[in-house]
Structure formats: C-alpha cells, structure tokens
Amino acid sequence: MTVNNMADPRRPNKIFRYKPPNTETNPTLEDPTPDYMNLLGMVFSMCGLMLKLKWCAWIAVYCSFISFANSRSSEDTKQMMSSFMLSISAVVMSYLQNPQPMSPPW
C-alpha cells in the first residue's frame, strides 16, 4: 500500500533515445592510445623489415597487441588484424633472412 502512495516517477512518454557523445567536438574524451600504438607498430614493423632488425619486429608485435587490448569495440577489426599480420610477417621475414638468434644489447 505504502508503495502505491508514492508516485511512480517513471514516465514512459518522456523517453529520450541514447545518442552516443559526439567525439569530434570533444577530442579530449577519446583515448589516443590504440591509435598511437597502431602507428608505432606499423613504423616498427617497417623498420624491422627494411633494416632487418629483429628487435624492431618484436617490438612491433608487442605494439599491435597493446593496441588491440586498448581498442574500442566500435573500431574496425580489419585495421587491427592488418597491423597484427604486418608485425608477424616482419618477425618471420627477419628470421628467414637471418636465422641467427637475437643478441641482447648488453
């Protein structure tokens, strides 16, 4: 009884639909990490492929993983997959060209 005395605050006639916030007008809201990591990954994999540096290729793999972990669900999976494949191919090519193991920098 007491529950019915309190007016029900719900108003089905006053429903507004959800509008995703416009990130163009407010770029500070967006997290730039996945984009940076994507770019970095591509740069490192190109370096690894061109200059035949194994450590570059490995860092590229890490970058693409980090980018994937931080990505938004609305983002294109194709972009993720392409950067991932590029970094894996950089690693594979470096080892095919020079099967010697990587030497540590120290």
Q: Which residues bind other proteins (CB under 8 A)?
A: 9-20, 25-26, 28, 58, 61-62, 65-66, 69-74, 99-104
Angstrom CA distances, 82 to 39, 59, 67, 85, stand at: 12, 16, 12, 5
Q: Least separation, in Å, of the C-beta of 81 and other proteins?
A: 16
Q: Least separation, in Å, of the C-beta of 58 and other proteins?
A: 5
Q: Least separation, in Å, of the C-beta of 46 and other proteins?
A: 19
User: Would you say 2 or 101 has its CB closer to other proteins?
Assistant: 101
User: Would you say 8 or 78 has its CB closer to other proteins?
Assistant: 8
Please give the single-letter amino acid code of residue 91: V
Reference 20, options 29, 10, 9; nearest CA is 29
